[in-house]
Amino acid sequence: MSVVVDASAVVALHFEDEATPFAALEERLGRGEKAFTAPNFYQEVMEALRQAVREGRTSDADVNAFLTVVDSYDLEAISVNPMAGCSTWLLAETLNASAYDAGYVAVAKAKGLPLWTKDGPLILKLKREKIACKP
């Protein structure tokens, strides 16, 4: 079995106060289950963690250790090319979501899997459109 993840779900694993809803995801990734994601995933994870360091929520050393764990996951970024007429553009328009978020949704739809996300506004949009998401 495989999963589709966005940056918010994986970043939540770094924080004790955010990780609980994603325990099943962490277990699956730790067992080596394949995870699909959008191309912007890596930069979004790093930027969210950089922000957390600036806010004093975590340390540089803890982030580097966590990124080593993330690097051990079997992650595959799925291309959203070509851009013209692609599902990402259509989903961004339909959901009134960012192109970043729509990329994750496009991957989930293409793979026929729910999207693991912590993004509350995105979860509401996905439910409205009857698109599967977790947790």
| Helices 87-95 and 120-128, axial angle in degrees (round to 10) | 100
* pLDDT of amino acid 85: 64
Distance CA 36, CA 65 (A): 22
Q: In the 8-state DSSP scheme, what is residue 58?
A: S
Write out pLDDT tens, residues 30-56.
999 999 999 999 999 999 999 999 999
Could you give the domains of the chain? 2-134 (3.40.50.1010)
* pLDDT of amino acid 84: 59
**Locate tokens 């599902």: which residue?**
87
* pLDDT of amino acid 79: 86
3-state percent helix, strand, coil for the chain, nearest multiple of 5: 60, 10, 30
Residues in the chain, pLDDT under 70: 82-85
Residue 14, Cβ density class (10 Å: 0-12 exposed, 13-18 middle, ≥19 buried): buried
